[in-house]
Amino acid sequence: MAEQEASGLQVLLHTLQSSSDKESILTILKVLGDLLSVGTDRRIHYMISKGGSEALLQTLVDTARTAPPDYDILLPLFRLLAKVGLRDKKIGRKALELEALDVTLILARKNLSHGQNLLHCLWALRVFASSVSMGAMLGINGAMELLFKVITPYTRKRTQAIRAATEVLAALLKSKSNGRRAVNRGYVTSLLGLHQDWHSHDTANAYVQIRRGLLLCLRHIAALRSGREAFLAAQGMEILFSTTQNCLDDKSMEPVISVVLQILRQCYPTSPLPLVTASSAYAFPVPGCITTEPPHDLPEEDFEDDGDDEVDKDSDTEDGKVEDDDLETDVNKLSSKPGLDRPEEELMQYEELQSKLGDDLNSEKTQYANHHHIPAAASSKQHCYSKDQSSCGQEREYAVQTSLLCRVKTGRSTVHLGSKKNPGVNLYQNVQSNSLRRDSSESEIPDIQASPKADAWDVDAIFCPRMSASFSNSTRTREVVKVIDKLLQTHLKRVPFHDPYLYMAKARRTSSVVDFKMMAFPDVWGHCPPPTTQPMLERKCGVQRIRIFEDIRRLIQPSDVINKVVFSLDEPWPLQDNASNCLRFFSKFESGNLRKAIQVREFEYDLLVNADVNSTQHQQWFYFKVSGMQAAIPYHFNIINCEKPNSQFNYGMQPTLYSVKEALLGKPTWIRTGHEICYYKNHYRQSTAVAGGASGKCYYTLTFAVTFPHSEDVCYLAYHYPYTYTALMTHLDILEKSVNLKEVYFRQDVLCQTLGGNPCPLVTITAMPESNSDEHLEQFRHRPYQVITARVHPGESNASWVMKGTLEFLVSSDPVARLLRENFIFKIIPMLNPDGVINGNHRCSLSGEDLNRQWLSPSAHLQPTIYHAKGLLYHLSSIGRSPVVFCDFHGHSQKKNVFLYGCSIKETLWQAACTVGTSTILEEVNYRTLPKILDKLAPAFTMSSCSFLVEKSRASTARVVVWREMGVSRSYTMESSYCGCNQGPYQGLQFGTRELEEMGAMFCLGLLILELKSASCSHQLLAQAATLLSAEEDALDQHLQRCSSSSGSVPSELEDEPACLEEIDYSTDNSSDQEGSLSELDRRIQECAFNKFEGEEEEEAPGQGGEAIP
């Protein structure tokens, strides 16, 4: 049957080319048209494969060369040719070879006064010009001049032909040679004039597509530097800006406005950032490295043409949707186990960390003998919060308010969900701008500013206290200390596992590059999770274009821009006048990051964040103090030097805010805040000098508006919930004091000293042995290991909150935690990059290196934390005690939910379509078990985002190195979104610290279920788990069906992002703005075939166009 159909089609095509009978040709064209007008494109592609395009082109040439040309044949032939040519990628080349290109151009010239014939010629030219090379050929042959004869000022006649001509011209101008020709011939000014004329006369917006076609022509010309210069010289920015201001809210004008925005962004002159140098404002002398002169930005004229959007090469996380060419297909590299990267005798130093287990159990010292003692300074005045205002028992009680088994993925979370229909809900409610209300104990809280002694108070010193304040003898600082003490005693709300006095004592021991003298109030005071979970912000339609038009307004109307620097790490201090009406900024505290603040308008500020120390990049994390605000007024903040090409800020994520006044009211809470949020590419570029001679990279703007809850408040804004190194060290000491020493073995060790001189903590958690007998001590020391690390990337503070949940759960009295302690030894490195966290870095250490790319061959001098973490894992492997699971906690800026990345040889080879050696590779699928368990347990976790591919670009990460070199099959990276969830019980909600901590606890529960599913699980543990489940009403019974441990299908892949109400456009030549889609042109051709052509007043004169084409 297929052969008969093929032979029938070939007969029709052969007859079409050879026949000179008009009726036969028309019949064949009708049959072909009917065949191709129904069904799918497969018919058209099949016809193309059988020489259909060549047959139609040859018939076109033959018919056009008859005297006179028969338009009864030519018109249906053109329609069929356009339909087929849209699907034939080689149609332009074929038309050139068969001379149909010139023939069609000649026919168009001969029919300038005959609209219907001209329209059909233009459709064919549109198809031929889809190839850039053919477009260039048409330009050489005078096609653009012809088209400008068709594209006239505003008229209601021949509008279909005019529209088609603008589309052909736009296609031709994709060719750079045509673009240069258009610039040289002054077409930019002509196109702007035509656009203005059509815009002013088309008040009913009846010819939006013609106006859009003219703009597309300008957009393609503007792809050239000479085109942009001509556009600016012709006042193009001002013209397009003014013509669109009155129609921004008109939905019918959407096709026009979207192209206008692209042109304006394309032609906005690029410039360097307003910084003295691209290097970080902080520098650290790295041992053994020669300090070089920091690169300075070049003046604007030295910038090259914009290139394509760069790939996010250092994406803060591993993207499961990798390109196939990045997949590792070398089976030897995937399966071989490299040798040690250091002398074997060096591993003996880690023996001490293991052999300490149990050595101090018989100590006659105090009850805290096996723990580091909390510094005396923290309790010199009996201010230790854990002693004065709570007890260790209360801390333990808080940790186990609800059994973890009652919070599995069944929707029974203890979290109170916020209203998804009201994303703008303000957690700071009923707030008066100038007075403070009563706290929960009904004690009167005086207004700080209205206090009789307010003038004597240094509000900034109180709300950003000095580290040395508590230990200074000056009168001024003693007064500040008294105020802080009074505030702590009067207004402090109990924050579990936090002590402000201990925090201040610890902060004095934290070493920073610039020797921070101040502490951020939220870090000292503490944070309590809000009572409700905040929904994702609903994106306001048009918010991106509003901000872009504001950027354009600054360029063309600079007189209303203040442009005043109000804060800078690079300039002499102070820059701010407390008497002025501008906001006051500060960021020189632990984890703080704000380099410069520029007041643009009264309530708008451009902000620049600092690059990582000893680096010129990684600007994303921010954390700063702001004061001097007025309540109920929206302040706009534009962070103009972000680096990542996209962000969850475009998809419902909000930054976080901490209000000091609210904290004094009993709400010490970081909340999500901000509206009118969007993230887009701006006009700033990195110079070629900084980029090493390559085209300068793009920068992106994060813009958001904040309405502060109080006037004259002191607030802190951050990228995500901050978690400092000092907060971790404080937390670990309080955890030590909170544990039940008869049940929990908790020890802090120092893994190593960092480059900056800070101790990197190593925590060991397990259960105390049943007794001091040799048998019980032996069992105690030989429990399997679980190794967990976090915060290798400083800006991923969400990883620390997940780790916080893990630590608190493991030392709690929860029965699941007890079983875990009794069966495992947990080795935890909660912060792999303390220096980066302390100094406000986003990604790197003080050496300017991404530490998660140093695991292959770390240096003991340059990457000590990675070197010794790897050494510890090497040691465990060398004694046959490799961890059951290794997991590195991370944060993800471009995806939602929580998910795991693992390693699989077979999945990697399958994904890369590489079958070499796969049949001989033996690989267990146990690496999938833990993520499947978490998918059922944890509300925030989703299996659909997990990936087990091994990429070349990730070969030096912890996940891959531990899998490959230590043979840990369950080696993972666990990614937590900065934003929130698009599935499960938390769908539509942003993550708070409570949800992140819950994920840390759920991860521990997953480890227990994993052990219960394993073949090596002891009968004793199974019996204990069964008793536990019975007590919890079989809450996890479904997860203990060992027969179904590997069953069940993986959920279908969820879309990473929901559809946005407006296009998030980063490329100025976005593919979504194709000049004419297949379906649209098909529809117009079909309408022309069945309907009478629009009224034409000009008719072809007798004999017009009747000469044969040579």
Q: Which residues are catalytic?
A: 975
**Residue showing tokens 């690169």:** 295
Contact 788, 803 (CB under 8 A): yes
SS (H, E, C) 346-400: HHHHHHHHHHCCCCCCCCCCCCCCCCCCCCHHHHCCCCCHHHHCCCHHHHHHHHC
Residue 539 has which token pair?
Answer: 């994106």
Q: Tally Cβ neighbours within 10 Å of residue 1048.
A: 11
The Cα 660–Cα 672 span in angstroms is: 15
Closest CA to 411 of 986, 1093, 1109: 986
Kindly tell me the number of DSSP H helices and DSSP E strands found in the chain.
39, 20
501: enclosing H helix or E strand? helix 500-509
Residue 1008 has which token pair?
Answer: 């227990």
Closest CA to 637 of 649, 648, 645: 649
870: enclosing H helix or E strand? helix 864-878
Give the number of residues written for the chain. 1110
**Cα Rg of the chain (Å, integer):** 35
Residue-wise DSSP of 1035-1091: TTGGGG-GGGTT-SPPPPPPPSSPPPSS----STT-GGG-SS-HHHHHHHHHHHHHS
**Residue showing tokens 């900024």:** 585
Angle, alpha carbons 1090-1093-1097 (nearest 5°): 165
The Cα 448–Cα 435 span in angstroms is: 8
In the sheet that holds 671-672, the strands lie side by side as: 584-586, 623-627, 714-718, 656-659, 671-672
Closest CA to 1078 of 45, 66, 83, 75: 83
Residue-wise DSSP of 132-199: HHHHHHHHHTTHHHHHHHH--SS-SSSHHHHHHHHHHHHHHTTSHHHHHHHHHTTHHHHHHHHHHHHH
Residue 457 has which token pair?
Answer: 């108070």
Contact 745, 354 (CB under 8 A): no
Contact 683, 271 (CB under 8 A): yes
The Cα 767–Cα 818 span in angstroms is: 7
Query: In a 10 Å sphere around its CB, with 0-12 CB exposed, 13-18 middle and 19+ buried, how is residue 1014 labelled?
Result: middle
Phi, psi for residue 93 in degrees, rounded to 5: -65, -40
Which amino acid does the sequence have at 184? N
The Cα 339–Cα 856 span in angstroms is: 11
Residue-wise DSSP of 936-970: HH-TTB-GGG-B---BGGGTTSHHHHHHHHS--SS
Residue 660 has which token pair?
Answer: 């000091």
Q: Tally Cβ neighbours within 10 Å of residue 98.
A: 16
83: enclosing H helix or E strand? helix 71-85
| Cα atoms in the 13 Å half-sphere on the side-chain side of 102 | 10
In the sheet that holds 634-642, the strands lie side by side as: 564-568, 596-601, 604-608, 634-642, 698-707, 675-685
Binning the chain into helix, strand and coil, the percentages to the nearest 5 are 45, 10, 45
